[in-house]
């Protein structure tokens, strides 16, 4: 279940691709059907969607009939929960269809209106069920478990109910819960203001490159041209882009401050000890996992600095600078694929996960669960979503690059995770937490890399693959943890009553970047201006989300290593069990089933071991060349 406070649709880790945006020449009607997802599996047409919408709108008020009666009997309890779950499922299906249709062509107003309708219904649904949690808690653990023992129909709800009972110290009265649910509509205000300003209103500057090309430096152009081959161009791009953000440091500080205040409000009304504890409570992850990640990264900054020195050597520069971090360190090799070749490559790469996994993946490709091609107006990036009882879907923007084959492997990991959980779990426990979601995706990327290395002898291609992997570890393991540490520190400041003004945020972020990248030791020089980079990161509005990118890649590194080294298939089967378990257990327990203990440093050490092994091989290849 997406959660009792219904969310429109889970969009897994989104991969932005400026090149895909640049090549969107075709209209959707020109794309062959085999490359489009089949939304008729959700609804035959929009008329059917509208009929379902009217039915859902009529059923939401009926939830009130259950208020105050949950404890009457086990049968009454089951009737309420089954009605609730059925409505939640139908609402999720409604929202997923609307979101997908809107993403096909964001220029079209009809699907955007459908999204708005479902969001409004979601708020009404959340308010209508706000009585549920406090009423279940009022029944008490003994009575709830007695109902489960009396009526077998309630057994599938047991983990979900245990999770609610866990919230007892943080749940208010029914009227207070209703006010909180209705107040949630204001929680996105700061994020919406930030996104509107940075996407639509921020006056992005224009630069003229050495080639005489004039470029408007919006976010997509910055992502593209910060990797320019010419160092002077990179310097110009960085200085110009961050100077413009510096002009709006105060405004963007105000929006981030407002967003953090919503987390302070939630911490206070829910009686949590800290914003971090409140954010991690939903996944039942102790705060020590978060703080241990930061400690592990600081202890292993020498490994990051080894990578930076290798980058400096390969780029042939006397002093590595922050402006050099996105430039290619190896020759770009020509690796281009058709969608069919990409699908075949991913299928072969995941073979270590067994024939059943591969068959499910093949089925997803053949049954049009994937929307491949970039077209005019299509949402950028990539994601996986799904609806219980139907199947997962993927959005891609495939232009044939190897990076997009990796994206296909990534999102396919999410999709098969969803498929296996839906197949093996009842609706109350079919969904899974983000903490384990990114394990499934990054493990597939790891398998793809090792598959490619096995079949690639060309030194330039191997250097390209290994270099790309190192860049990914730098940005996922170290950069995301830097973000996580910044996020923790700004919340700690706010909890002490310190205002989060833009200038102070820049000072804090600048200090972290200089420490991580070894500025004082001359490893990588960071211009003071780049301290304003915090203002560019939308994830700071996600409430302690980014640390999970780092923990996931450490967990998947250990699982992948275990699978490769295990001849008995025990590690593989433990991992597949995790993928099939939904939320029947808490994330840390699910990962234990897969052979990973996230309370220690073992997974992190596995990722660092692979990072050092990658650098070892690159250094050998460079010596041979």
Question: What pLDDT, on the 0 to 100 scale, is given for residue 25?
Answer: 54
Q: Indicate whether 12 pLDDT > 50.
A: no
Question: What pLDDT, on the 0 to 100 scale, is given for residue 11?
Answer: 33
> Mean pLDDT score of the chain, rounded to an integer?
92
584 assigned to some structural domain: yes
Q: Indicate whether 16 pLDDT > 90.
A: no
- In this structure, the answer to whether residues 576 and 528 fall within a common structural domain is yes
Mean pLDDT of 455-478: 92
Query: Do residues 219 and 213 touch, judged by C-beta distance below 8 A?
Result: no
Whole-number percent of the chain with pLDDT over 70: 96
What b-and-e string marks burial along 14-36, b requiring 16 or more CB atoms within 10 Å of the CB?
A: ebebbbbbeebeeeeeebeeebb
Mean pLDDT of 396-418: 94
- In this structure, the answer to whether residues 528 and 600 fall within a common structural domain is yes
Mean pLDDT of 116-133: 92
* Domain stop point among 450, 483, 499: 450
- In this structure, the answer to whether residues 259 and 376 fall within a common structural domain is no
- In this structure, the answer to whether residues 558 and 613 fall within a common structural domain is yes
Dihedral over alpha carbons 132, 135, 137, 138 (to 10 degrees)? 180
- In this structure, the answer to whether residues 369 and 301 fall within a common structural domain is no
CATH code (residue 128): 1.20.140.70
Query: Does the global pTM surpass 0.75?
Result: yes
Mean pLDDT of 332-341: 88
304 assigned to some structural domain: yes
Q: What is the pLDDT of residues 131-177, one digit of tens each?
A: 998 899 999 999 999 999 999 999 999 999 999 999 889 988 878 88
Q: Supply the range of the domain harboring residue 375.
A: 334-450
- In this structure, the answer to whether residues 50 and 142 fall within a common structural domain is yes
Give first-to-last CA distance, the chain, whole Å: 54
Distant-in-sequence, close-in-space partners of 268: CB < 8 Å, separation ≥ 6? none
- In this structure, the answer to whether residues 509 and 401 fall within a common structural domain is no
Q: Indicate whether 79 pLDDT > 90.
A: yes
- In which band, very low, low, confident or very high, does the pLDDT at 442 lie, cut at 50, 70 and 90? very high
Which 3-state string (H, E, C) describes 556-612? Answer: HHHHHHHHHHCCCCHHHHHHHHHHCCCCCCCHHHHHHHCCCCCCCCHHHHHHHHHHH
Q: Indicate whether 6 pLDDT > 60.
A: no
Q: Indicate whether 247 pLDDT > 90.
A: yes
Distant-in-sequence, close-in-space partners of 201: CB < 8 Å, separation ≥ 6? none
525 assigned to some structural domain: yes
Q: Catalytic residue positions?
A: 411
554 assigned to some structural domain: yes
**Could you tell me the CA-to-CA distances from 486 to 90, 355, 498, 537, 550 in Å, in that order?**
39, 43, 15, 11, 14
Q: What is the pLDDT of residues 471-525, one digit of tens each?
A: 989 999 999 999 999 999 999 999 999 999 999 999 999 999 999 999 999 999 9
Question: What pLDDT, on the 0 to 100 scale, is given for residue 532?
Answer: 98
199 assigned to some structural domain: no
- In this structure, the answer to whether residues 326 and 338 fall within a common structural domain is no
- In this structure, the answer to whether residues 405 and 374 fall within a common structural domain is yes
Q: Indicate whether 22 pLDDT > 60.
A: no
* Domain stop point among 409, 429, 450: 450
- In this structure, the answer to whether residues 325 and 344 fall within a common structural domain is no
Q: Total domain count for the chain?
A: 3
Q: Indicate whether 428 pLDDT > 50.
A: yes
Question: What pLDDT, on the 0 to 100 scale, is given for residue 187?
Answer: 79
Residues 382 and 564: their CA atoms lie apart, in Å, by: 28
Q: Indicate whether 218 pLDDT > 80.
A: yes
What b-and-e string marks burial along 160-175, b requiring 16 or more CB atoms within 10 Å of the CB?
A: bbebbbbeeebbbebe
- In this structure, the answer to whether residues 263 and 143 fall within a common structural domain is no
Q: What is the pLDDT of residues 178-202, one digit of tens each?
A: 877 777 777 778 888 888 888 788 9
Question: What pLDDT, on the 0 to 100 scale, is given for residue 566?
Answer: 85
CATH code (residue 260): 1.10.1370.20
- In which band, very low, low, confident or very high, does the pLDDT at 567 lie, cut at 50, 70 and 90? confident
504 assigned to some structural domain: yes
Q: Indicate whether 13 pLDDT > 60.
A: no
* Domain stop point among 450, 466, 490: 450
Mean pLDDT of 217-233: 91
- In this structure, the answer to whether residues 435 and 509 fall within a common structural domain is no
């Amino acid at each position: 279940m997406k959660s009792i406070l219904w969310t429109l649709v889970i969009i897994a880790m989104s991969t932005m691709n400026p090149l895909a945006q640049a090549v969107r020449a075709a209209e959707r009607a020109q794309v062959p059907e085999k490359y489009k997802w089949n939304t008729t599996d959700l609804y035959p047409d929009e008329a059917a969607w509208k009929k379902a919408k009217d039915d859902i709108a009529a059923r939401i008020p009926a939830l009130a009939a259950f208020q105050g009666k949950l404890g009457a009997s086990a049968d009454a309890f089951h009737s309420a929960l089954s009605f609730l779950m059925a409505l939640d499922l139908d609402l999720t299906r409604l929202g997923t269809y609307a979101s997908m249709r809107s993403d096909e062509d964001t220029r079209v107003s009809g699907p955007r209106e459908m999204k708005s309708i479902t969001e409004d219904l979601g708020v009404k649904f959340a308010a209508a069920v706000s009585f549920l949690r406090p009423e279940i808690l009022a029944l008490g653990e003994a009575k709830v478990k007695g109902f489960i023992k009396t009526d077998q129909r309630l057994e599938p709800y047991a983990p979900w109910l245990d999770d609610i009972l866990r919230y007892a110290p943080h749940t208010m009265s029914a009227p207070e819960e209703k006010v909180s649910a209705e107040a949630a509509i204001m929680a996105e205000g700061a994020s919406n203001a930030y996104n509107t300003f940075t996407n639509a209103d921020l006056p992005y500057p224009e630069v003229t490159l050495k080639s005489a090309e004039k470029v408007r430096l919006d976010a997509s152009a910055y992502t593209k041209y910060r990797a320019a081959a010419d160092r002077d161009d990179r310097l110009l791009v960085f200085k110009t882009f961050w100077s413009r953000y510096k002009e709006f440091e105060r405004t963007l500080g105000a929006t981030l401050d407002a967003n953090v205040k919503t987390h302070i409000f939630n911490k206070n009304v829910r009686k949590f000890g800290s914003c971090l504890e409140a954010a991690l409570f939903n996944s039942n992850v102790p705060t020590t996992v978060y703080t241990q990640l930061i400690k592990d990264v600081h202890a292993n900054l020498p490994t990051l600095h080894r990578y930076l020195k290798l980058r400096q050597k390969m780029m042939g520069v006397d002093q590595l600078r922050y402006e050099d971090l996105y430039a290619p360190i190896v020759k770009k090799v020509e690796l281009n694929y058709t969608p069919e070749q990409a699908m075949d490559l991913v299928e072969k790469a995941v073979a270590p996960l067994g024939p059943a996994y591969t068959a499910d993946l093949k089925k997803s490709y053949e049954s049009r669960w994937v929307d491949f091609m970039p077209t005019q107006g299509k949402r950028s990036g990539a994601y996986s979503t799904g609806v219980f009882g139907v199947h997962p879907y993927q959005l891609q923007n495939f232009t044939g690059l190897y990076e997009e084959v990796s994206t296909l492997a990534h999102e396919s990991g999410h999709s098969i995770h969803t498929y296996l959980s839906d197949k093996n779990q009842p609706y109350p426990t079919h969904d899974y937490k983000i903490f384990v979601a990114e394990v499934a995706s990054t493990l597939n990327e790891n398998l793809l890399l090792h598959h490619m290395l096995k079949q690639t002898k060309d030194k330039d291609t191997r250097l390209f693959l290994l270099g790309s992997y190192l860049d990914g570890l730098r940005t996922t393991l170290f950069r995301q943890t830097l973000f996580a540490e910044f996020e923790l520190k700004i919340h700690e400041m706010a909890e002490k009553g310190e205002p989060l003004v833009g200038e102070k945020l820049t000072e804090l972020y600048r200090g972290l970047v200089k420490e991580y990248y070894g500025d004082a030791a001359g490893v990588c020089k960071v211009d003071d201006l780049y301290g304003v980079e915090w203002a560019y990161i939308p994830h700071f509005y996600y409430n302690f989300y980014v640390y999970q990118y780092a923990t996931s890649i450490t967990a998947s590194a250990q699982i992948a290593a275990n699978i490769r080294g295990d001849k008995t298939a025990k590690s593989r089967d433990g991992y597949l069990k995790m993928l099939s378990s939904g939320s029947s257990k808490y994330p840390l327990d699910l990962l234990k089933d897969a052979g990973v203990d996230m309370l220690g440093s073992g997974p992190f050490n596995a990722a660092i071991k692979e990072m050092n092994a990658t650098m070892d091989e690159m250094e050998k290849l460079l010596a041979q060349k």
